[in-house]
Structure 1
């Protein structure tokens, strides 16, 4: 695409990963779009103390507008955003989501695109399909696209069944400028480390795939990172380190013998939803053990580039037989794969191609009308 696009993006937060798993995803996509010459303005609400827990200052690769939790201010920002070529409403902004979902559809013009970007499609689909009265049901057909964080064909089929004109997965990927191999740090030494916030639809799987293996292997050291686990009853061989800032992710991934990925229930149900964490860890050359989800082989080769466990007992068995040499070989293979196929440049190229084709179609329609 030769023309520079102005993109307005309403999301949870791009400057803070605090209680915000989508931060790395947003940063990778937006940074890659900037490199392609596009201009992105990211609008985020000042909520959940995220601004007090920033990982980055305002970047030079996008304009960040932090707004108060106030509808009048938001209405003014929507008027400004209406001047953009592409207007994106992400799911899970955290403030005035229903209001934004409706108001963005009102900004549709002949020469622009409006997009709903679902960073938790399984949860959204479960919600709307269980409640026909959910107001978002009527809005889905009004968006030019629904983009999703993952989900593959099951999510595509579900969204199009619910009226989406077109649904396209834009998967998580690796931001090579942020996540890369570093020297190990003693504070993160362990046989297995897991990083993830405590969420209702993840906790049971954490108990099975992380806490139970720790109980089964009492002589091995485990590390738990993420917000919300402070009052969780855990074995003595699990060290809880709390929220791990982005700047420490590489050491967290590089130091342990292996790192664990645990899908949320909804993500595991639909499959084809590799978490941001998987690509972060692979980008640091980590040996990844993941719970099973459909579609893994579309991203990594099980046994060679990633280790797959279908139960907590399988995690225990994998760790018991995992040598440092084998772990390093698997991490090296995963690192090679993500650089070749799964960077945010790869994802942004797909996004640019999709947007370009649609805008060309719309411009041609306008010219025909004239």
Structure 2
């Protein structure tokens, strides 16, 4: 298949969860024989932290303004089998208009921020990457999260028809076991961009336990943390880490914590890409709980759930052998079910099914 993507970014992993996911998907789409072109507006805050410069075997188109790339984008769409617009794409509305005005490529919308989209709609606010016609014109709508409640809301509020989950994943060639690094060594780590709606949970599940256990070392990695973040002497900080540094970061963690954004946790079926990355690197997982988490990892066997500071402290008391067994099971589950290679195959199957459904069947001929 020839696939064109209009997305937020693939070139910079700074302060977003889109780039790493697209890198893994595009890589395995190309390895499977498909053609990929990714259109990304070249904005300063990603250009200044760019850590990916080309799609091997594919095409990365960086542009300054939509007008300068409109003609090229139109040609790419007319030559494509499927064209995908994503959430938070700066030119999502223009790209959507381009897709829906042609009848060649299968028009697809991929929301990698679905609960945030719905929370914005429920607040009566407009969604900058979805136009006034909603999602009615798309042949296929993909969602980074799942659950019937979410899909029903998309149908009711945005007019979406065929909605399918395409969950997070990990490129196991990039995220894999590595040697620990002394400067990352810790008893509990957390890797993630600062988010106000994760802050209360992060304080409960990491900051408060850190204050209780001054004998242990805690580590946070990420970007955009405010000056008034409630640090304590045993909580260390590493500013934004490129994907190449994730394996040693996780390998140096006795446990690593996942905290889900509030809107996503309330919807459920929302596995963060960080869960798959950490497990692929062999780190024992500690996570907040949400509906559907047991469809991705078995609680108590492949992942440890925490709902309070005490739960975190109890997890930190587990022995090395038990943590190693949990980590091994989670890594095996991830490699079998949550790899970028698996998701790329799922994406192609979804696109082919939607395309076949849209093909008009020939009328039966008379005898």
> Normalising TM by the smaller chain, what interval?
over 0.9
Secondary structure at 2:93 match in 1: helix
Contact 1:18–1:50 (CA under 8 A) maintained in structure 2: yes
Alignment partner, residue 121 of structure 2: 128
Distance apart, 1:360 and its partner CA? 2.4
User: Of 114, 117, 121, which residue of structure 1 is paired with 2:110?
Assistant: 117
Counterpart of 1:296? 293
Conserved? CA contact 1:151–1:267, under 8 Å = no
CA separation in 2, counterparts of 1:222 and 1:61? Answer: 40
1:279 Cα deviation after fit: 0.2
Please give the secondary structure, in 1, of the residue aligned with 2:13. Answer: coil
Is contact 1:105–1:139 with CA below 8 Å preserved after alignment?
no
Q: Is the 8 A contact 1:201 1:265 kept in 2?
A: yes
Q: Distance in 1 between matches of 2:132 and 2:143?
A: 16
- 5 Å-filtered alignment, 1:232-311, equals 232-311=229-308
User: How far apart, in 2, do the equivalents of 1:106 and 1:301 lie?
Assistant: 45
Q: 1-side partners of 2:352 and 2:24: how far apart?
A: 20
Alignment partner, residue 180 of structure 2? 184
> Is 1:333 matched with 2:329?
yes
Which secondary structure does the structure 2 equivalent of 1:64 belong to? strand
Residue by residue, what CA displacement relative to the aligned partner does 1:166-217 show, whole Å, maximum 9, x if unpaired?
1100011121111101111111111000011112222222222221121121
Alpha-carbon separation, structure 1, partners of 2:12 and 2:70: 23
Distance 1:105 1:205, change over 3 A: farther
- Deviation of 1:76 after TM superposition, in Å, equals 2.7
Asked if the contact 2:120/2:126 (under 8 Å) is kept, the reply is: no
1:145 — aligned with what? 140
Partner of 1:196: 192
RMSD: 2.0
1:47 aligns with 2:12: no
Choose 325-334 or 260-269, whichever is displaced more: 325-334
With normalisation by structure 1, the TM-score equals: 0.92
Between stretches 32-41 and 115-124, larger displacement belongs to 32-41
Q: 1:317: Cα distance to partner?
A: 2.3
Q: Per the alignment, in what secondary structure is the counterpart of residue 175 of structure 1?
A: coil
Preserved CA contact (<8 Å) 1:128 1:136: no
Contact 2:207–2:230 at 8 Å: present in 1 too?
A: no
Deviation at 1:137, TM superposition (A): 5.2
Correspondence for 1:9 among 5, 28, 32: 5
Q: Describe the SS at the equivalent of 2:136.
A: helix
Q: CA shift at 1:249, angstroms?
A: 0.1
Q: Structure 1: how far apart are the matches of 2:17 and 2:354?
A: 29
User: Aligned runs of 1:78-117 on 2, under 5 Å?
Assistant: 78-83=73-78, 84-93=80-89, 95-107=90-102, 109=103, 111-117=104-110
Separation (CA, whole Å) in 2 of partners of 1:303 and 1:137 = 45
The answer on 1:363 being equivalent to 2:356 is no
* Aligned CA distance change for structure 1 residues 99 and 128 (closer, same or farther; 3 Å): farther
Gap runs ≥5 in structure 1: none
Structure 1 residue matching 2:134: 3-state secondary structure: helix
Question: Equivalent residue of 1:260, what SS?
Answer: strand
Which residue does the alignment assign to 1:220?
216
Report deviation, 1:368.
5.1
Cα gap change, 1:204/1:74 in structure 2, threshold over 3 Å: closer, same or farther?
farther
Cα distance change, pair 227–34 in 1 and its aligned pair in 2 (3 A): same
* Counterpart Cα distance in 1 of 2:363 and 2:77: 24
1:155 deviates by: 1.9
Q: Is the contact between residue 19 and residue 197 of structure 1 (CA under 8 Å) also seen in structure 2?
A: yes
Distance of 1:268 and 1:104 partners within structure 2 = 32
1:165 aligns with: 161
